[in-house]
Homo-oligomer: A and B are copies of this chain.
Amino acid sequence: MTLHTRFTERFGIEHPIVSAPMDVVSTAALATAVSRAGGLGLIGGGYGDKDWLSRELAAAAGTPVGCGFITWSIDASHIDLALSHEPAAIFLSFGDASPYVEQIHRAGVPLICQVHDLAQVEEALQIGADAVCVQGGEAGGHGKGTRSTFTLVPEAADLIADQRPEVLLLAAGGIADGRSVAAALALGADGVVAGTRFWATRQAAVTRAAHARAVAINGDTTRRTGVYDIVRDKDWPPVYTGRVLANDFVVRWHGHETELVENLDTARAEFSHALEADDVDLANMIVGEAVGQVHAIEDAGDVVQSMAAQAENILAGRSPAAR
């Protein structure tokens, strides 16, 4: 057997591996490297900076890549901008995607809805998603954090099989290597979306200090918190927190959010200075538990290919113990 799934067939790609649309981090360089290696690269439209988005979509021209957004932070004009570049997919996370479904489908573009629990899977099926990406709380960045990849994938697979069996299922949260790709497919996914693993590649727009820290730490070092949303003035719906490196800033303020708000000017100045100084003890380093499996900063295309090869070996019974 190979890793050909319903997802690779329907999207015309070689490997069922997607790079997550990480805000600002997922540049044209990253997305095109992933797509050229046989996966599907997504550009990180994030909070909807149109200048950045136009530049990156133009830079990716000629290579099929998709584009992702933080749904609550955009409007129809962001979707139009992305659609004007004929993306391979639109990927919407964190909020009600229903206002954009018709617009996206009229353009003949597949809609992938990222969700965080079973109730959200059901909503995505109801509004007409072509694929549902279920993200466990082990993932880096924002999410509900109430479900894990290991249980949410099979439960979502059963719900989809029951309600809208033509819909594809992607697994996100903890995808680090070929072992996790094989595990996600075994659990019932048609493909995977990896964030942290592609964040830790040469093509990602990540600072030198953050990459160096990622290589040095294990997976016990992250936690979910809202403190960086407070200091960055990002108006996230309260149900969402973000998984980040549990650095000095997080240790100081997490659980003391009232004091953080009382000291916001000082904390903001410190945060801004940390960003400029590339100080990951204070600036936000957005990684998931899979950071513990990052041992080197590699080429994104090589990551796609080694993930796929390892997963193929495991699922073909050629490498059962995976070590």
Write the residues of chain A forming the contact surface with B, with a CB cutoff of 8 angstroms.
Answer: 1, 5-6, 117-119, 136-138, 146-152, 154-155, 157-158, 161, 173-174, 176-177, 179-180, 182-188, 190, 218-220, 223, 288-290, 292-293, 314-317, 320-323
Q: Are A323 and B155 in contact (CB under 8 A)?
A: no
User: Which of A150, A188, A219 lies at the interface centre, i.e. has the most chain B CB atoms within 10 A of its CB?
Assistant: A150
- Residues on B with C-beta less than 8 A from A150 are 136, 138, 148-150, 173-174, 180, 183, 289
- Residues on B with C-beta less than 8 A from A149 are 148, 150
Number of identical protomers: 2
Residue of B nearest to A120 (CB): B220
- Residues on B with C-beta less than 8 A from A314 are 186, 315
The distance in angstroms between the C-alpha atoms of A184 and B148, with both chains bound, is 14
Q: Are A148 and B289 in contact (CB under 8 A)?
A: yes
Chain B nearest Cβ from A261, distance in angstroms: 19
Known: A118-B292, A292-B118. A321 touches B190 (CB 8 A): yes
Q: What would be 17 A-B contacts, judged by CB atoms less than 8 Å apart? A: A118-B219, A138-B150, A146-B223, A148-B148, A150-B173, A150-B180, A151-B219, A151-B290, A151-B292, A152-B289, A154-B177, A158-B323, A180-B187, A183-B183, A186-B315, A190-B321, A315-B315
- Residues on B with C-beta less than 8 A from A174 are 148, 150-151
Chain B nearest Cβ from A254, distance in angstroms: 13
Q: Are A322 and B151 in contact (CB under 8 A)?
A: no
The distance in angstroms between the C-alpha atoms of A288 and B136, with both chains bound, is 15
Chain B nearest Cβ from A101, distance in angstroms: 23
Q: Are B321 and A6 in contact (CB under 8 A)?
A: yes
Chain B nearest Cβ from A217, distance in angstroms: 10
Q: Are B220 and A119 in contact (CB under 8 A)?
A: yes
Residue of B nearest to A177 (CB): B154
Contact of A1 among B117, B138, B176, B320 (CB under 8 A): B320
